[in-house]
Homo-oligomer: A and B are copies of this chain.
Amino acid sequence: MDLKQYFRERRDIIEKALDKFLPPESEYPEIIHKAIRYSVFAGGKRLRPILVMAGAEAVGGSIHDVLPIACGIEFIHTYSLIHDDLPALDNDDFRRGKPTNHKVFGEDIAILAGDALLTLAFEVISGHYNRSKGFDKVLRIINEIARACGTMGMIGGQVIDLESEGREIDFKTLDYIHNHKTGALITTSIRVGAIYSDATENQLEILTGYAEKIGLLYQIVDDLLDIKGDIKKTGKSVGSDIKNNKSTYPAIYGLEKAQQIACILAGEAKDYASNLGEKGKFFIHFADYLLTRES
């Protein structure tokens, strides 16, 4: 399996769909649509929409049918980055090597652009399945997504992350942050793609187990890249977590042990994926990709 080509093909489809679902920059009020598009098209890897599509394919579904859901989740991911970067939160001036939304458009528009993307996610998902069968599935999917990014999911993780700044935290708290701030939306991405494609409960269980492993793996590798990554590849300044006294896996467990844990997680993820047979092939390659990625 040529993972690079797999990603390229899917990204092409996703970029076109994102463009289709977003109001054009010329739409009144122009400034908010410019701000939204600035961040959506700031060079994201589109991992979450790719996972939505992979969740669908793993159970025999169509990647095109889940595009509104995949794009909705990318909108939510983008909103969370815009709000996270705000001066009142992480106060980041750059993301992926480009000035953050509020540096370009001002804090007021950045707050509203985040709000608008969160809203648009639900508009797109609810609006594109209202003439198809399976309303109940779509309601369930909207509900899963909302729970994954609410106070018991992503926002909960952000709150504890904020509260933990500059403090020593225990393993349990660190896992809570990871599982909620990044893990919840990653797990939901795979699940909702599969749910829309009529996954059995057994298939959903396998995919959920897989997703939980790679969600944590993704975050640990992120933290490792922050220490030993190449700024030219990551687009982030190296060592910012240490500078900000941030609790991470490498900070708590040490570099070597954190790397071992990442390896073990990738192995466990692949064990789950192997239960899906031939259709689980992508997920096996994807776990290896996450373990060895350089950006």
Binding site for B on A (CB under 8 A): 23, 27-29, 31-33, 36, 79, 83, 86, 88-89, 106-109, 111-112, 114-116, 118-120, 122-123, 126-127, 129-130, 135-136, 138-140, 142-143, 146-147, 149-152, 155-156, 158-160, 162-163
Alpha-carbon separation in the docked complex, A28 to B163 (Å): 12
Indicate which residue in B111, B118, B135, B142 contacts A136 across the interface (CB closer than 8 Å).
B135
- Residues A119 and B118 in contact, CB atoms below 8 Å apart: yes
Q: A32-B156, A155-B112, A159-B31 are in contact. Are A142 and B126 (CB under 8 A)?
A: yes
Q: A32-B151, A147-B123, A163-B29 are in contact. Are A115 and B114 (CB under 8 A)?
A: yes
- Residues B159 and A32 in contact, CB atoms below 8 Å apart: yes
- Residues A86 and B111 in contact, CB atoms below 8 Å apart: yes
Chain B residues, CB < 8 A from A112: 83, 155, 158-159
| Minimum C-beta distance from A58 to chain B (A) | 24
Count copies of this chain in the complex.
2
Name the residue among A36, A79, A135 with the largest chain B CB count within 10 angstroms.
Answer: A135
| Minimum C-beta distance from A199 to chain B (A) | 17
- Residues B156 and A130 in contact, CB atoms below 8 Å apart: no
Alpha-carbon separation in the docked complex, A108 to B88 (Å): 5
| Minimum C-beta distance from A143 to chain B (A) | 4
